[in-house]
Chains A and B, each alone.
Chain A
Amino acid sequence: MIRRRLAASALAVFAVVGSVLAQADSGWGLLNMTPGVTDMSRNIYQLHMKIFWICVIIAVVVFGVMIYSLIKFRKSQGAIPDVTLVHNTKVEFIWTVVPVIILVVMAVPAAKTLVEIEDTTKSELTIKVTGFQWGWNYDYLDDGVAYYSHLDRASDHARELSSGIDPNTVPHYLLNVDHPLVVPVDTKVRLLITGADVIHSWWVPAFGVKKDAIPGFVNEAWFKVDADKPGLYRGQCAELCGRDHGFMPIVVDARSKEDFAAWLKEKAAEQKQAAAPAAPAAPEAAATPAAGSTAP
């Protein structure tokens, strides 16, 4: 009875704390991974939660026994040590084998998800992503569209040492770029990821994709954004890459298939135009970030 009441009050406390955290329109509510907007990111999220809860259950049992011992077997309470209790084959066997079984239970779904993540076949669009110090280059290999993506101006000013600009006044401080990567929803997009100078890592949490951009090597990754979830998704470089590692965000603009096709057509025409008549003045054209050469 007491135990049930204790459990109920513990749950109530949890609920109150949880709702306060959830309501607070601030960073206090940021406690967990987001499920994201792709099947894969949801699989990863579910895997993460499954293992988290297994760990919580183990922790409750093990810490429970420890805390019970700390309360029950105190010298100040007159506990007499049982010095003969130094070995028990049966118990030791159980606590070696049970963890193995739990690990197998964890490993099977993890391996299954991993196999799916590694399957980059049947992609419908391929984009080459090149990380450099400090920004990204996106190259739509089949469509003749390529451009650079840098930290946006507002963040770039505000992040100077003692700039006097309050980061809270800058929209999407440090998570905004001049030219986002544009992709269609409901399409298997394959990324070919490489680095131009040092190792970077392309990470968008909402897609569950993080892959290193290594100079001289090409890595593959893929994602397929839910058909009903167009929007802007933000991430950052996730491998220390020098002074401005903290200032090379990633923004992906997921659009409907039609909008994407229109954008791509317009962009291709724009880049073709920028390249062709401006041939004598090629260096200037190359210097503007939007008119891209294929790679830095």
Chain B
Amino acid sequence: MADAHVHDATHDDHDHDHKPHGWRRWVFATNHKDIGTMYLIFACTMFFIGGAMAMVIRLELFRPGMQWVDPQLFNSMTTMHALIMIFGAVMPAWTGLANWMIPMQVGAPDMALPRLNNFSFWILPFAFTLLLSSLFVPGGAPAGGWTMYPPLVLQNGASFPMLIFAIHMMGASSILGAINVVVTIMNMRAPGMTLLRMPLFVWTWLITAYLLIAVMPVLAGAVTMLLTDHFFGTTFFTAAGGGDPVMFQHIFWFFGHPEVYILILPAFGIVSEIIPTFSRKPLFGYEAMVYAVASIAFLSFIVWAHHMFTVGMPLAAQLFFMLSTMLIAVPTGVKVFNWTATMWKGSLSFEPPMLFALAFLFLFSIGGFSGLMLAIVPADYQYQDTYFVVAHFHYVLVPGAIFGIMAGVYYWLPKWVGKMYDQTLAKWHFWLSTIFVNVLFFPQHFLGLAGMPRRIPDYAVQFTDWNMVSSIGGFGFGLSQLLFPYIIWKCVRSGTPIGNRAWEGAHGLEWELPSPAPYHSWTEAPSDALIAKGAAH
């Protein structure tokens, strides 16, 4: 490592970064940018595969009656759509963005553990090949829901062990990626980049990485118990053998609730970078933002049972989980108020990253409100397992996590390729996405409240109208996403060259590097003055 620094520093010429060429550059990749690119391309691919499955779901639900798929295949589609979107699209996209941005933002040349980085990426294509190939085995793909509740999950056919091993591999990949992020942030920060000078994206990722390391092994343990229940005669989750099917739900959601913050916290970080940039004003309440993220992460460990209020828990347990869940509204509120205060008395402009960040702010808040409603146990008895829940978590995951990723890509893409993309086209992408995402998910609130359960392939005729609206929104949303890879491709091919600071109000070390960013980001540590300039808060 040290030798490479000296070498690069003496040449300071981007044609001599000693990268292997051709396929070796990617298969043997150890460079954080190359690996980041692979993560992002992988995530985008999975986004379209998972999206295609969502289209099948919305097509079947367009009108009552069974027209297109068998109920079993429908259940496979909902199960696989969730697994692919969570583990294949959103999580790898965050790791890709972390790879690209964390070294640049903390003043490091690369990630701390480059070979581990290569390994953690290359596990993923194999994990998802295994998972997707289960579509073609006897009995079809997993159809018991992504939550894998026993005893139902044990009824899967040949796809069952494939599901378990795919989950193991995804978990291993996430843990390795998270370790790399923690080690990079803890050891590779430039001198002077103190913890409380770090950009919010780095902070949120640091906390996300700890969540991943804490809960991924729990998921691995839970699915391993399923495996031994199925093949080795254990009865962890079978009442007849002294086990308890509800115990699986407790273990699963002990992983599952921190997991939803793993999906959303980096989006908080990105929005906290973008809103100050386009308000031309430092982030309001930087320290409060850091503490709010830390409190959300802590609370995420003690609220898991709100996913399972209907299983029949003792009164005291239900009250505890209701109150702890409601508490999350406090730090989340602090974040929303701080973002609003950042815009207050700012000087706002509305480039594509800012538009996506603003849609995040409004629509994630709507998801937050429905989340608060879901925390109220008696009301939750009516909402649980209905389309109201589907609407809620899609509001926090699509205009929340996915818009966060898109905002980040539109924000940093000029830095990555040294060119500006077609902003008009990106605004089209924004408006189409934002309109259709609401047409798609808002009516699902109505459907749920009116009594439509989730995960059903067919429905009573009174639910037809809003399902049609939702499906039209779904097709519109799906089609508009094709603009996203096209805009990126067009930018790489023929964007207009851009200076170091792609956005007028942008602060932070990444904007002090040339555009496109050099292959080994910071070969010399940035000066204290440069760090102080970037961390003006």
Contacts and interface: CB of A to CB of B under 8 A. Distances in A.
B453 interface: yes
Contacts, number: 292
Which one of B334, B336, B349, B379 has the highest number of Cβ atoms from chain A below 10 Å of its Cβ?
B379
Contacts of A144: none
Contacts of A118: 315, 318
Interface stretch (B21-29, B162-170, B325-333, B514-522): B325-333
B66 A161 contact: yes
A30 B466 contact: yes
A39 B66 CA distance: 37
Which one of B334, B347, B365, B462 has the highest number of Cβ atoms from chain A below 10 Å of its Cβ?
B347
B340 interface: yes
A217 B247 CA distance: 12
Interface stretch (A12-20, A72-80, A268-276): A72-80
A82 B344 CA distance: 9
A100 interface: yes
A199 B318 CA distance: 20
A241 B145 CA distance: 9
Contacts of B143: 242-243
Given A70-B343, A162-B67, A243 B75 contact: yes
B327 A210 contact: no
B308 to A, nearest CB: 8
A203 B456 CA distance: 14
A32 B449 CA distance: 5
Interface in A73-102: 73-76, 79-83, 85-88, 91-92, 95-96, 99-100
B280 A235 contact: no
A79 B458 contact: no
Interface in A210-239: 210-212, 214-217, 219-220, 235-239
A159 B66 contact: yes
Nearest to B249: A199
A111 B316 CA distance: 10
A75 B277 CA distance: 12
B343 A110 contact: no
18 contacts: A32-B449, A33-B382, A44-B381, A62-B340, A70-B343, A70-B358, A75-B280, A81-B280, A107-B323, A110-B378, A114-B377, A162-B67, A163-B66, A201-B385, A214-B239, A217-B312, A239-B310, A240-B152
Interface of A: 26-28, 30-34, 43-44, 47-48, 51-52, 55, 58-59, 62-63, 65-66, 69-70, 73-76, 79-83, 85-88, 91-92, 95-96, 99-100, 103, 106-107, 110-111, 113-115, 117-118, 158-163, 165-168, 172-175, 197-199, 201, 203, 205, 208-212, 214-217, 219-220, 235-247
The 4 closest A-B pairs by CB, nearest first: A216-B239, A246-B456, A30-B450, A27-B465
Given A81-B345, A216-B239, 15 more contacts: A32-B446, A48-B376, A51-B373, A58-B369, A69-B346, A73-B279, A81-B280, A87-B284, A92-B288, A95-B333, A95-B337, A110-B379, A199-B245, A216-B244, A238-B310
